[in-house]
């Protein structure tokens, strides 16, 4: 081939090759999924909250992908079951990050102890992490700029219950029983004690270990307490809540039983029905029976996909967390971790986020890495004689 022919060939092929390379890059990027690592406790005692939360996230991903994904990318949700063993959290996530080095974000956990360890792994990797259900308000400060809470903090729910007990139930003396082995229970119990004392009440606090299932000592202390407690606040998780509730009522103690969102569990409702137990109150993120189009649509979609309605508020929290991430990716116009994390750090009006959050009230947003909403529900479980309903809706504010 002479020099002229070679020059002409190179002149023709150079732009053609460049265009082909650009087209290949665009196609490859469009085909690349948005990988979201999802550490949850899908088995073991924590699964009562973790499994519904993950299913809610699954439902959101299915809905987004059916509509074409986000920025043209499908979302790939990678479940990581740590089986309610906190010691597994770091190793499981390190292993997952080795398998998925291009992960865009993490979404997971309903408990602050697990979320703290997971958040530190994601922070080190430079990947934003949204926890749907962990509520320790200092998690973002402990972890760093990549940690975000979709739920309200324990300070908010503890203050709401303290006010509710004081103003609505007219309680002045409380027995406080705290599971001392969990970040969540220590935190929510500590805040409740602080806020109730600030209102002028008295608190008789007793701690117990997570594995304790016999509450005889606490019940004996309750009966001897002076002044006599008018309510019991149980800062505990579902694994101990049913035993606590049943043993208190079997001992003839009929005062109101109070708690945080750790009692938002189907097993507690079923125990109340089975034994005719009345006057159980707990703070939670939203009431599943609320009569809004968004909640109705979510409940029906969840039931259709999984065969039963969502058992607690952690299911819609998982759903909303995925949609928060999707909105952040769209606002960033990027699937890169550093870029899509920025909108979650940026103060925004609730209007900017509410379009993708059909189960939320209008004032929910991830401002300051904690939700701006301070409204919450205080359902009442009552299944005594002549009572057919539960979850009587009360909306409280912590402001």
Say how far apart CA 186 and CA 31 lie, in whole Å.
45
375 beta partners: 397
**pLDDT (tens digit per residue) in 193-207:** 999 999 999 999 999
Say how far apart CA 71 and CA 20 lie, in whole Å.
22
Q: Looking at residue 270, what is its pLDDT?
A: 82
Q: Looking at residue 25, what is its pLDDT?
A: 44
* Residue 137: Cβ within 10 Å count: 17
Q: Looking at residue 5, what is its pLDDT?
A: 52
Q: Looking at residue 269, what is its pLDDT?
A: 79
**pLDDT (tens digit per residue) in 365-388:** 443 455 544 455 666 655 443 223
Confidence grade of residue 397 (pLDDT, cut at 50, 70, 90): very low
**pLDDT (tens digit per residue) in 1-53:** 555 554 444 544 445 455 444 444 444 445 599 999 999 999 999 999 999 99
**pLDDT (tens digit per residue) in 129-159:** 999 999 999 999 999 999 999 998 999 999 9
Confidence grade of residue 99 (pLDDT, cut at 50, 70, 90): very high
Q: What are the φ/ψ torsions at residue 155 (nearest 5 degrees)?
A: -65, -40
Q: Is the pLDDT of residue 356 over 70?
A: no
- Report the percentage of the chain scoring pLDDT > 90: 67
Average pLDDT over residues 299-313: 94
Confidence grade of residue 326 (pLDDT, cut at 50, 70, 90): very high
Closest listed residue to residue 128, CA positions, set 94, 103, 99, 111:
103
Q: Is 34 in contact with 73 (CB distance < 8 Å)?
A: yes
DSSP state letters, 64-130: HHHTT-BTTB-EEEEEEE-TT-GGGHHHHHHHHHHH-TT--EEE--SSHHHHHHHHHHHHHHT--EE
**pLDDT (tens digit per residue) in 220-229:** 999 999 999 9
Say how far apart CA 121 and CA 90 lie, in whole Å.
7
Q: Looking at residue 345, what is its pLDDT?
A: 86
Confidence grade of residue 188 (pLDDT, cut at 50, 70, 90): very high
| Residue 227 preceded by cis peptide, ω within 30 | yes
Q: Looking at residue 264, what is its pLDDT?
A: 86
Q: Looking at residue 367, what is its pLDDT?
A: 39
Q: What are the φ/ψ torsions at residue 207 (nearest 5 degrees)?
A: -100, 150
Q: Looking at residue 353, what is its pLDDT?
A: 52
Q: Looking at residue 357, what is its pLDDT?
A: 53
Q: What mean pLDDT value characterizes the chain?
A: 84
Q: Is the pLDDT of residue 396 over 50?
A: no
DSSP 381: E
Q: Is 53 in contact with 133 (CB distance < 8 Å)?
A: yes
Listed in sequence order, the DSSP H helices in the chain are 3-31, 47-66, 89-99, 112-125, 139-143, 154-167, 183-198, 216-224, 238-250, 266-275, 293-306, 314-332, 337-345, 350-354
Buried-exposed string 371-386: b where 16+ CB fall within 10 A, e elsewhere: bbbbbbbbbbbbbeee
Q: Pick the range with the lowest mean pLDDT from 57-66, 240-249, 345-354.
A: 345-354
More confident residue, 296 or 346: 296
Average pLDDT over residues 108-131: 97
* Residue 43: Cβ within 10 Å count: 14
Tokens of 206: 């007793």
């Amino acid at each position: 081939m002479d020099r002229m022919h070679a020059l002409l060939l190179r002149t023709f092929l150079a732009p053609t090759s460049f265009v082909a390379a650009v087209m290949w890059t665009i196609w490859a990027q469009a085909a690349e999924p948005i990988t979201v690592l999802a550490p949850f406790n899908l088995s073991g005692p924590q699964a009562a909250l973790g499994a519904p939360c993950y299913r809610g996230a699954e439902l959101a991903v299915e809905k987004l992908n059916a509509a074409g994904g986000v920025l043209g990318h499908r979302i790939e949700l990678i479940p990581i079951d740590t089986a309610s063993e906190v010691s597994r959290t770091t190793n499981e996530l390190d292993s997952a990050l080795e398998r998925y080095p291009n992960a865009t974000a993490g979404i997971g956990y309903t408990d602050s102890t697990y979320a703290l360890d997971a958040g530190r792994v994601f922070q080190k990797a430079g990947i934003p992490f949204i926890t749907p259900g962990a509520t320790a308000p200092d998690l973002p400060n402990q972890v760093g700029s990549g940690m975000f809470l979709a739920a309200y903090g324990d300070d908010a729910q503890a203050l709401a219950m303290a006010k509710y007990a004081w103003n609505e139930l007219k309680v002045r003396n409380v027995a406080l029983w705290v599971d001392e082995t969990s970040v969540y229970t220590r935190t929510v119990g500590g805040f409740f004690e602080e806020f109730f004392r600030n209102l002028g009440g008295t608190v008789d606090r007793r701690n117990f270990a997570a594995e304790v299932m016999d509450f005889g000592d606490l019940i004996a202390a309750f009966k001897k307490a002076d002044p006599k407690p008018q309510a019991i606040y149980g800062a505990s998780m579902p694994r101990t809540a049913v035993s606590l509730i049943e043993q208190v009522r079997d001992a003839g103690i009929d005062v109101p039983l109070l708690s945080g969102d750790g009692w938002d569990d189907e097993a507690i409702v079923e125990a109340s029905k089975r034994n005719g137990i009345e006057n159980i109150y707990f703070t939670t993120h939203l009431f599943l029976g609320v009569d809004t189009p968004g909640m109705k649509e979510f409940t029906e979609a969840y039931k259709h996909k999984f065969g039963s309605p969502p058992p607690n508020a952690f299911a819609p929290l998982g759903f909303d967390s995925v949609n928060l991430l999707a909105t952040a990716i769209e606002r960033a116009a990027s699937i890169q971790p550093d870029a899509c994390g920025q909108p979650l750090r940026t103060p925004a009006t609730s209007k900017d986020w509410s379009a993708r959050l059909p189960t939320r009230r209008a004032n929910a947003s991830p401002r300051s890495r904690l939700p701006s909403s301070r409204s919450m529900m205080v359902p009442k479980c009552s299944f005594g004689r002549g009572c057919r309903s539960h979850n009587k809706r009360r909306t409280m504010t912590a402001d």
